[in-house]
Amino acid sequence: MLSPTALRRWSWTHKWSSLICTLFMLLLCITGLPLIFHHEIGHLLGTEVEAPPMPAGTPRASLDQVLAAARAEYPDRVVQFASQSDEDDALWFVTLTPTPAPTEDFKSIAVDGRTAQVLARRPVDQGFMYVMSRLHVDLFAGLAGKLFLGLMGLLLLVAIVTGVVLYAPFMRKLAFGEVRRTKSPRLKWLDLHNLLGIVTVVWALVVGGTGMINTWADLMIKYWQYDKLSALLAPYAGQPTVPAAERSALQPALDAALAHAPGMKLSFIAFPGTTLSSPHHNTFLLRGNTPLTSRLLQPVLVDARTAQVTAAPQLPWYLTALLVSQPLHFGDYGGMPMKVLWALLDIATIVVLGSGLYLWLRRKAPATAGSNAAQPGSSNTPAASAQGASA
């Protein structure tokens, strides 16, 4: 059992970690709700691109033809990345930018992988889902915004853990789940805050933890490139980026990558000189066929001149953790039932956060008849001043 001094310390930590992160967590929960259903909302708004139906066995165009079709739309740009749709591998998305360097100025072209015909020129910097995504990922502030949200995620985890510690002394005179409806509005909200907080605690830990990991993605990739990839590229030291005119055809390079990792499928391609590749390689990121392995990537580096595989390094544990956490954060593992569950828990967490803010704002409200001071969790107890037992 916690001593009064320990209880005050836990309460102080819970109170301030909650207060500092609450508004930002509310923003993330509100923006995260539509992102759970981003595919379904895209279909509803007509922004989701679909390849037209064709007979089974329709031959595929080569990767070179697909990229040529995309480049024809913006001949003054270079191809940075290309990816196949997770839902339909007949659909390619090609990203073009002014230079291979990292930039926010990019165009996305959807190309039919069978006919090499352009299907759509997707706007990537406008619309409702774009705003929701940028607010959720980085607050329109790039890496600084991501790291700031990561700090808020850490405070959320502190608030959750301290709230769980405070829950037992708070509930010592109440039945589990009891809401004192005959008491003051503040006490009713305090009970509801604690009930929803303890019910959603595991989900909040999972989503808060995975969200915090996701904010470190850029730094993790840069560290991997510095720590592991640089050793693999030692034979190319001092050589400039391979000019486009000296690069081999891409379809043989893709075939070589797939042959090197039988049973895997293409997810993503990064071209020479871009963020996720080297100046000398086409980097093919391959994925497995099961719900779990489809989220894990195997990089295969193929020499841009010779179309020969030169390396296929295993991803380190921290990048594996990142890849696993990304779909878990949005409930992408279990289809629609898991998405609905994630949405319901998200809404419950919004209530927890909102009620915690309400309890803080009403902390100096006068007690109603019957004196709240005699009630566990009243405004005079450390647990109540800490906004209850959850974030």
**How is residue 285 written in tokens?**
């990121």
pLDDT of residue 239: 85
pLDDT of residue 376: 40
| pLDDT tens, position by position, 26-54 | 999 999 999 999 888 888 887 788 888 88
pLDDT of residue 163: 87
What is the average pLDDT across 43-72? 89
Q: Where are the domains of the chain?
A: 4-39+142-215+333-385, 59-127+216-325
pLDDT of residue 105: 86
Distance CA 160, CA 251 (A): 50
What is the average pLDDT across 238-250? 89
234 vs 306 pLDDT, higher one: 306
Query: Which residues is 270 bridged to in the sheet?
Result: 81, 283
**How is residue 250 written in tokens?**
């891409």
| pLDDT tens, position by position, 319-376 | 999 998 988 898 887 788 999 999 999 999 999 999 988 888 887 644 444 444 334 4
Distance CA 277, CA 299 (A): 10
pLDDT of residue 26: 95
From the list 376, 267, 256, the residue with the least C-alpha distance to 326 is 267
* pLDDT > 80? residue 171: no
| pLDDT tens, position by position, 126-158 | 888 889 999 999 999 999 999 999 999 999 999
Distance CA 189, CA 356 (A): 8
**How is residue 205 written in tokens?**
């830990």
Distance CA 35, CA 41 (A): 9
DSSP string, 259-326: HHSTT-EEEEEE-TTSTTS-TTEEEEEEE-SSTTGGGSEEEEEEETTT--EEE-PPPPHHHHHHHHHH
What is the average pLDDT across 91-118? 91
Calculate Rg over the CA atoms of the chain. 26
Of 184-198, 262-276, 360-374, minimum mean pLDDT range: 360-374
pLDDT of residue 311: 92
**How is residue 139 written in tokens?**
């607050």
386 confidence band (pLDDT: 50, 70, 90): very low
- Parallel/antiparallel/unpaired status of strands 78-84 and 107-112: unpaired
pLDDT of residue 374: 36
pLDDT of residue 301: 96
- Share of residues in the chain with pLDDT > 90 (%): 52
pLDDT of residue 364: 62
| pLDDT tens, position by position, 278-291 | 899 999 999 988 77
282: phi then psi, degrees, rounded to nearest 5: -90, 120
Of 3-17, 174-188, 202-216, minimum mean pLDDT range: 174-188
* pLDDT > 70? residue 378: no
Helix, strand, coil fractions of the chain, as percent rounded to 5: 50, 10, 35
Of 73-82, 98-107, 170-179, 187-196, minimum mean pLDDT range: 170-179
From the list 15, 107, 7, the residue with the least C-alpha distance to 360 is 15
The order of strands in the sheet holding 91-97 is 118-122, 107-112, 91-97, 78-84, 265-270, 281-287, 297-303, 309-311
H helix intervals, 37-91? 38-45, 63-73
Q: What is the mean pLDDT of the chain?
A: 86
DSSP state of 92: E
Cα angle value 103/280/143 (rounded, 5°):
25
pLDDT of residue 372: 42
